[in-house]
Chains A and B, each alone.
Chain A
């Protein structure tokens, strides 16, 4: 309390009132504040930019041999082919990737296996350089099952390419 009284007395003893000049340090401070607020309010905001999207996957033509590496191992995406269409099933890695129940299909033509509902090795086309599986011996039910799978894949996954036999890469797509 002593201190306060002392200070009050000290201030009261000072000579003269406030100066009437415009350019006192206090006024400079206030003007600076005005300037800062004005600039920060009036500066146009930079338009918002969103981060770039993942680049689109380029549609490719695969042969059984070039499709093979896309089996999900070593961080590769998981692709599988159904009736000439290559699907990117990486999002279903737990099923189609390494260790999953359908891992045999990864990087392969899965048409026959899906039609027959079997995940065995013998469902896959052995000869990677030979023609594609013609699937002519399938029964009506099996074909239906395969169409069902295809439909589900089309809903869920992206078609990232087509599968053709080795030697057919340059041939123009006749159907479509």
Chain B
């Protein structure tokens, strides 16, 4: 026999010998292998978005000024095009193809009461407006009643000679109604952060030159304010059901003789039933007035007063609406819960966006202080929450503790791997098991929550969230998370992470996730500052924002950032 024959024979004998060892264990192992490969191939999913879109999220301008970085813009708002400035409101009778007006706050309420305009099964659907009181009690407000309240309150303030209206209320439907009343009745709204010391309130009233205050009894230091702030002309108490019977109009002797005191409920109930049903007409309406907002820095610092034009806010609303992909957009089937203070433009803008999308909105005055998401969502089942980073961080810590078993940890690891591959684990055997066995319930029904907004505040004392915490939270909540960078002079967000961006990074600076690309209504540029110098390789420095949602068009945000390789903004 030749050499090859020998070789073949020994190969034959070897292989036969090897397979002669086949036994029951081999069959078990082989079955497992075949099953595993089949499962992997059968459940294979495409990433939610193309990975290239995450690999470079913003567009850099090809030319930069000396000492500055290139100008960065969202991929959806390329250089040379106008930034997203308006809602494209189409008046009744306008051509279907017309561009539409930018709109103002009045158009948001008009849209809310008109219902969905687009043709389709949802046409005409309106959102519901709810107030959560205590743990279980949920009150629904009829939109017609709210329209009447907006009209009557606006008219009342106007009749009493009011002009600059300070709103000192917790998150409530009255806060939004007063804001809309100011928009419709040509008044300047001033939104004060709630729960401040008497001195802070007086200082804010003085700086904003308010002549009217809408507030709730018990929280507003009436006597002190009347004594030390003589420009106050009128005051409207928003009293709750329980204390409605008391005579709030009575002004204590010797104090505030010149202040006209009334209650929200009286203005509403004493007016003829037929009055105030129609909003002021659209034709020949006056230019919208500014909205003044106080930005809270670290505790003890004086609040920064910022005047936003109506156009600023509207542009921010448009950018937020744009940030949610069309297939997942906010709609009438959503229930939005602002669980951060409405005195923050980010929360306010999101709430306005929810109104404009005809989503239902629930107000809970205790939600901004809630320690975690479950408490914030008490009594209802929100699908979208604007949460504080503090509540998210607590939720993360509390939930991580419950993942103590090996099974839980491994399953969590598997689901995280899926997220890292760009696939949000929504359905399938493992995600369903994860949902039923480990996920905490937020709200009254499990599995409803689908989107969480959270915002880092420049100069504020919000805790920072890292991308791995955000990734865990995506799994714990079953909701996508949009993490935004917000600043005093920018309505809404400066930059925010993409809806489909679930990537996790190690060693993040300051333990803080990146903030994604600029929104479609902002462009950012980084200016050399201290040791942070721009070069061909690196864009870093003080963050400057420009755009239609920035108060005064351009603002330095007072924080140092850098642009990462994927063109997202992060703290330096």
A residues contacting B by CB (< 8 A) are: 7, 11, 14, 18-22, 24-27, 29-31, 33-34, 37-38, 41-42, 44-45, 47-50, 52-60, 158-160
Contact = CB atoms under 8 A, between A and B. Distances in A.
A14 to B, nearest CB: 8
B18 interface: yes
Interface in B475-523: 503
A26 B26 contact: yes
A50 B537 contact: no
A14 B565 CA distance: 66
8 contacts: A24-B26, A26-B22, A34-B29, A47-B503, A54-B62, A56-B69, A59-B66, A159-B63
A47 B36 contact: no
A44 B70 CA distance: 33
Contacts of A20: 23-24
A150 to B, nearest CB: 16
Contact of B64 (A37, A44, A58): A58
A44 B25 contact: no
A149 to B, nearest CB: 19
B51 interface: yes
Contacts of A160: 63
B18 A26 contact: yes
Nearest to B41: A41
Contacts of B12: 7
Contacts of A45: 420-421
Select the residue from B37, B62, B566 with max chain A CB neighbours within 10 A: B62
Given A45-B421, A47-B51, A59 B62 contact: no
B285 interface: no
Contacts of B25: 21-22, 24, 27
B54 interface: yes
Given A20-B23, A59-B63, A11 B54 contact: no
A53 B18 CA distance: 55
A27 B26 contact: yes
Interface string B526-546: 000000000011000000000
Contact of A18 (B21, B54, B417): B21
B30 interface: yes
Contact of B565 (A38, A44, A52, A54): A52
A147 B412 CA distance: 63
A89 B24 CA distance: 75
A58 B66 contact: yes
Contacts, number: 101
B21 A57 contact: no
B564 to A, nearest CB: 10
Interface in B379-399: none
A25 B18 contact: yes
Interface string B65-102: 11001100000000000000000000000000000000
A11 B16 contact: yes
Given A24-B23, A57-B63, A48 B51 contact: yes
A44 B421 contact: yes
Contacts of A58: 63-66
Contacts of B23: 18-21, 24, 27
Interface in B18-51: 18-26, 29-30, 32-33, 36-37, 40, 51
A34 B36 contact: yes
A142 to B, nearest CB: 28
B417 A57 contact: no
A26 B19 contact: yes
Given A34-B29, A158-B63, A18 B22 contact: yes
B418 to A, nearest CB: 9
B224 interface: no
Contacts of B24: 20
B420 A44 contact: yes
A56 B61 contact: yes
A10 B62 CA distance: 78
A19 B65 CA distance: 78
Nearest to B69: A56
Interface in B552-572: 565-566
A33 B40 CA distance: 15
Contacts of A158: 62-63
Nearest to B5: A3
A31 B470 CA distance: 36
A49 B566 contact: yes
A39 B23 CA distance: 25
Contacts of B18: 25-26, 29
A114 B70 CA distance: 30
Nearest to A159: B63
A159 B61 CA distance: 11
Select the residue from A25, A38, A50, A56 with max chain B CB neighbours within 10 A: A56
A38 B21 CA distance: 24
B176 to A, nearest CB: 41
B26 to A, nearest CB: 6
B33 A30 contact: yes
Contact of B21 (A19, A48, A55): A19
Contact of B26 (A30, A37, A42): A30
Contacts of B417: 42, 44
Contacts of A42: 414, 417
Contact of B65 (A30, A44, A54, A59): A59
A57 B565 contact: no
Contacts of B429: none
Nearest to A161: B63
Contacts of B536: 55-56
Select the residue from A27, A31, A48, A52 with max chain B CB neighbours within 10 A: A48
Nearest to B505: A47
A37 B54 CA distance: 28
Contact of A30 (B29, B60, B566): B29
A50 B52 contact: yes
Give 7 nearest A-B pairs by CB, closest first: A55-B536, A56-B70, A24-B21, A56-B64, A26-B21, A48-B51, A30-B29
Nearest to B539: A56
A29 B15 CA distance: 13
B60 A56 contact: yes
A44 B22 CA distance: 33
B60 to A, nearest CB: 6
A20 to B, nearest CB: 5
Contacts of B40: 41
A57 B64 contact: yes
A141 B64 CA distance: 34
A56 B79 CA distance: 14
B36 A38 contact: yes
